[in-house]
């Protein structure tokens, strides 16, 4: 009996992997232009790193982490996100000693034990960016613009940038308290999760998707009215800057995030085309987090784009450039040996070359060449070799012509290189 993969852990098959390579290339190009450098961090971390940063009472930490005790008795967790790990590395290696401003990105898998559905997996992948050491609202606007730019560079349109401010340690506690009192009066109307959240994490009630919870929130206090003057000024400056960048957005005062470390600016980029899991990217500012994790008092702002959701949005939208393929068909014993040598030499020269390995007829080799999408076929036959000749066939136009071959593979590779150039 075959052993199936794990629920919520998706294979990325070659067709989709091509799209992923394209996505990663576009993202890396954008990061380069915006001055971001790549950082690669481990997949496993000590559990307390996530508990302390994401928050003990968040769904992620309470219910969704893949946590286990390893052979030395230590509690470890498969990373549910990248921000905490990047900051841990930033602190551990004292990157701030070289430069307190660090713009870092990473691309890789994350793990959350959520209920799998379209666009939601238990292993998923993020393109994650963090700008550390900058208080300026300009960086908030710049990061949101950069996330939008990655999407548009991939040909994705019809997305909405939603912004909110979650306030800071000065103004949020009062809002939290008043919201908690308000929710206390609405318990009967709330789902069991939100009844629990009222005590543990009342802000999370704001983005509960259950219909009756949304109705129960009617008349609740509004966070925007609680923002302190500094938070208000910051939000207005972010808005001004993002308008200057010419990026459309809306303010969504109900948007709270599933992670507790955010302060002030938060954002999500959503698309109706994604259905229930509508956020393709999300992030925000986390000004107290680096200190909380034992580092210097530096602020930070970042975001993550979900690769699976990006891939869904791209679909067949963009034709990803195919690399031309050359097929070397061979007829006869001597020809097979020469064909393998020619293909080998072409591969070393950077050309994708395929051969037949099983002594099939020429007809069947041509069929195979068509199937794999070869642009050019080289036909090597014992008879032709005896006449110092090889045939080339342009698969699209079906034009066929003879090429001199005096056992000089180098000259032939040059000639093929030129021919292949036509297909790039």
In 201-350, alpha helices (H) = 211-216, 229-244, 289-292, 307-314, 333-348
Q: How far is the CB of 3 from ligand HAM (least distance, A)?
A: 23
Taking the least distance from each CB to ligand HAM, the nearer of 126 and 165 is 126
Q: How far is the CB of 302 from ligand HAM (least distance, A)?
A: 3
Residue 19 CA to residue 307 CA, distance in Å, equals 10
Tokens of 225: 């009215």
Q: How far is the CB of 105 from ligand HAM (least distance, A)?
A: 10
Element (H, E) at 107: strand 102-111
Reported residue count of the chain is: 424
Residue in 134, 161, 216, 280 binding ligand HAM, rule: CB under 6 A: 280
Taking the least distance from each CB to ligand HAM, the nearer of 186 and 264 is 264
Kindly write out the interface string for residues 120-159 of this chain, putting x where it contacts ligand HAM by CB under 6 A and - elsewhere. Answer: xx--x-x-x-x-----------------------------
Residue in 88, 149, 234, 309 binding ligand HAM, rule: CB under 6 A: 309
Of 157, 107, 164, the closest CA to residue 283 belongs to 164
Q: Which stretch binds ligand HAM (CB under 6 A): 158-166, 190-198, 302-310, 369-377?
A: 302-310
Could you say which residues in the range 247-276 bind ligand HAM, by CB under 6 A? 258-259
202: left (phi > 0), else alpha (psi -120 to 50), else beta? alpha
Taking the least distance from each CB to ligand HAM, the nearer of 31 and 405 is 31
Q: Which residue has the tokens 């309470």?
A: 62
Beta strands at 389-394 and 376-381: parallel, antiparallel or unpaired: antiparallel
Residue 262 CA to residue 285 CA, distance in Å, equals 5
Residue 198 CA to residue 177 CA, distance in Å, equals 10
Taking the least distance from each CB to ligand HAM, the nearer of 112 and 393 is 112
Taking the least distance from each CB to ligand HAM, the nearer of 193 and 207 is 207
Q: Which stretch binds ligand HAM (CB under 6 A): 12-20, 25-33, 38-46, 117-125?
A: 117-125
Q: Which residue has the tokens 């238990």?
A: 122
Other CB atoms within a 10 A radius of the CB of residue 83 amount to 26
| Residues 238 and 301: beta-carbon distance below 8 Å | no
Q: How far is the CB of 90 from ligand HAM (least distance, A)?
A: 12
**Alpha-carbon 210 to chain mean position:** 28
Decide if residue 283 touches ligand HAM (CB under 6 A).
yes
Q: How far is the CB of 381 from ligand HAM (least distance, A)?
A: 52
Residue in 194, 281, 351, 380 binding ligand HAM, rule: CB under 6 A: 281
Q: How far is the CB of 66 from ligand HAM (least distance, A)?
A: 12
Could you say which residues in the range 393-422 bind ligand HAM, by CB under 6 A? none
Cross-strand partners of 130: 104, 302
Residue in 304, 339, 343, 412 binding ligand HAM, rule: CB under 6 A: 304
Residue in 41, 61, 65, 81 binding ligand HAM, rule: CB under 6 A: 81
Phi, psi of 375 (to 5 degrees): -85, -35
| Residues 282 and 303: beta-carbon distance below 8 Å | yes
Give the residues lining the site for ligand HAM (CB under 6 A).
81, 83, 112, 114, 119-121, 124, 126, 128, 130, 258-259, 279-284, 302-304, 306, 308-309
């Amino acid at each position: 009996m075959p052993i199936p993969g794990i629920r919520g852990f998706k294979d990325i098959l070659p067709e989709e992997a091509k799209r992923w390579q394209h996505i990663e290339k576009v993202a890396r190009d954008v990061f380069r232009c915006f001055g971001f450098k790549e950082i690669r961090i481990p997949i496993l971390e000590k559990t307390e790193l996530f508990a302390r940063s994401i928050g003990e009472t968040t769904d992620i930490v309470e219910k969704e982490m893949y946590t286990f005790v390893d052979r030395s008795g230590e509690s470890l967790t498969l990373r549910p996100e990248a921000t905490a790990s990047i900051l841990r590395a930033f602190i551990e290696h004292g990157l701030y000693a070289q430069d307190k401003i660090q713009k870092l990105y990473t691309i890789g898998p994350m793990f959350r034990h959520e209920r799998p559905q379209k666009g939601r997996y238990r292993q998923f992948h993020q393109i994650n960016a963090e700008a550390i050491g900058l208080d300026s609202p300009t960086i908030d606007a710049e990061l949101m613009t950069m996330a939008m730019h990655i999407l548009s560079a991939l040909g994705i349109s019809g997305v909405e940038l939603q912004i909110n401010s979650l306030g800071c340690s000065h103004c949020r506690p009062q809002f939290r308290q008043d919201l908690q009192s308000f929710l206390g009066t609405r318990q009967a109307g709330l789902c069991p999760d939100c009844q629990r959240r009222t005590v543990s994490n009342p802000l999370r009630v704001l983005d509960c998707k259950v219909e009756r919870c949304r109705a129960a929130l009617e008349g609740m206090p509004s966070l925007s009215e609680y923002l302190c003057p500094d938070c208000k000024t910051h939000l207005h400056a972010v808005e001004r800057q993002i308008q200057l960048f010419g990026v459309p957005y809306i303010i969504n005062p109900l948007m709270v995030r599933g992670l507790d470390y955010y302060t002030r600016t938060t954002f999500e980029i959503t698309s109706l085309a994604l259905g229930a899991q509508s956020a393709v990217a999300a992030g925000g500012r986390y000004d107290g987090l680096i200190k909380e994790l034992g580092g210097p008092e530096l602020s930070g702002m970042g975001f993550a784009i979900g690769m699976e959701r990006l891939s869904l949005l791209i679909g067949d939208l963009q034709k990803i450039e195919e690399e031309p393929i050359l097929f070397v068909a061979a007829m006869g014993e001597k020809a097979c040996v020469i064909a393998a040598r020619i293909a080998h030499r072409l591969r070393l020269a950077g050309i994708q070359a395929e051969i037949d390995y099983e002594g099939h007829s020429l007809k069947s080799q041509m069929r195979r060449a068509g199937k794999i999408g070869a642009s050019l076929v080289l036909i090597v036959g014992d008879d032709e070799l005896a006449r110092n000749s090889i045939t080339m066939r342009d698969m699209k136009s079906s034009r066929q012509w003879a090429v001199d071959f005096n056992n000089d593979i180098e000259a032939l590779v040059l000639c093929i290189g030129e021919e292949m150039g036509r297909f790039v």
